[in-house]
Amino acid sequence: MQSSSIQKFFHNNILVAYLVAILFLCFSIFVGISIGTLSIPFSTILTIFGSEVLQLPIQTAVEPMLTNIVIDIRAPRVLLALFVGASLAVAGAAFQGFLKNPLADPYTLGVSSGAAVGAVFVFFLGISLPILGAFTLPVVSIVSGFVTLFLVIFFARLVQRSMSAETIILAGIIFSSFLGSLISLMVAMTGEELRQIISWLMGSVAMRGWNYVYLIIPFFLLGTLLLLANSRELNALAFGEETAKHLGVNVQVRKMMILLGASLLTGSAVAVSGTIGFVGLVIPHLTRLLWGSDHRHLLPLSMLVGGGFLILTDLAARTILSPTELPIGVITALIGGPVFAMILVRQRRK
């Protein structure tokens, strides 16, 4: 009853919902930059951003070491966590609406497994393409993720020309299982790079720098715009493909655009951070419980909450056992596993 009343309140006061989500994201950003081996006050962070980023004529002097920590180390890490979390959450919300299944997440189509295969392949062979250089890993990951998407769609079309949600899910599961076995095979054949591969597979945004932030931004913007442009169609598809057709939706075209946008977000997120599970499952579900199922608001709210959530998760990963740093995937799995079970029990009871 309480959950229903909260949802009704936010549904009737959508601006309050956006305000809460934005405040949560801002709080996460400042906390993520502030807390670490060396704690930095919020006022100092504001001074550094005002003088270094906005070029404001601030007279307050700040130690160069603190400026370097904020600008060169913590800010890119926090922003990368923001973009990765937002990407996975928006993609998860889109997949759940598209497949009409709250247990769906960005990894359902096997795009994550495909991107991971590309990354492990780079580690395994030590590939460094002449033009790309340091960007060989993320670019190969994104390309392999897209190839996997097209293979899944092609296979689903062979099985069923209309490509129903159930067929796409089954095709994704088949490809995920097969690609997972390829990853296991390459890991088993790897020597000194074994630790590096396993660490990457568990997910992290540590030591990535501004280059990775710049890499994900265009893919994030393109994928998010594609999904936001199809938010009304997602609402229609939630009632079934036949109903959507009667409402004037070009189902085949819209399905392809939604799959492309969500897979673009997932592939780029995996490329820059590795495999981070459950974000695309948990965040959209909790957001839907609080703020309803209208994708016009669910998608942007999931983006805000997902970004803040992964920032706080990364903060926990690097501070719980400091100076040892845990992979983010470990923390999200510890949180997501019980939530996944709770969602499953809730669905079974319904």
Is residue 340's pLDDT more than 80? no
Contact by Cβ (8 Å): 142, 119: no
Q: How many domains does the chain have?
A: 1
Distance CA 209, CA 207 (A): 6
Is residue 298's pLDDT more than 70? yes
State residue 25 phi and psi, 5-degree precision: -65, -45
Distances (CA, A) of 57 to 30, 50, 68, 181, 199: 22, 8, 19, 57, 43
CATH number of the domain residue 105 falls in: 1.10.3470.10
Q: What is the pTM of this model?
A: 0.87
- pLDDT mean over 264-282: 86
Helices (H) and strands (E) in the chain, counts: 16, 0
Is pLDDT larger for residue 13 or for residue 223? 223
Q: What is the pLDDT of residue 4?
A: 58
Q: How many CB atoms lie within 10 A of CB 27?
A: 13
Contact by Cβ (8 Å): 296, 231: yes
Distance CA 249, CA 162 (A): 14
Alpha-carbon Rg for the chain in angstroms? 21
Q: What is the pLDDT of residue 334?
A: 84
Lowest mean pLDDT among 37-41, 62-66, 122-126: 122-126
Helix (H), strand (E) at residue 237? helix 231-237
* Full domain range(s) for residue 228: 2-349
How many residues are present in the chain? Answer: 350
What does the pLDDT look like over 125-146, one tens digit per residue?
777 777 777 677 777 877 888 8
What does the pLDDT look like over 6-47, one tens digit per residue?
656 665 678 888 999 999 999 999 999 999 888 888 888 888
Distance CA 324, CA 189 (A): 27
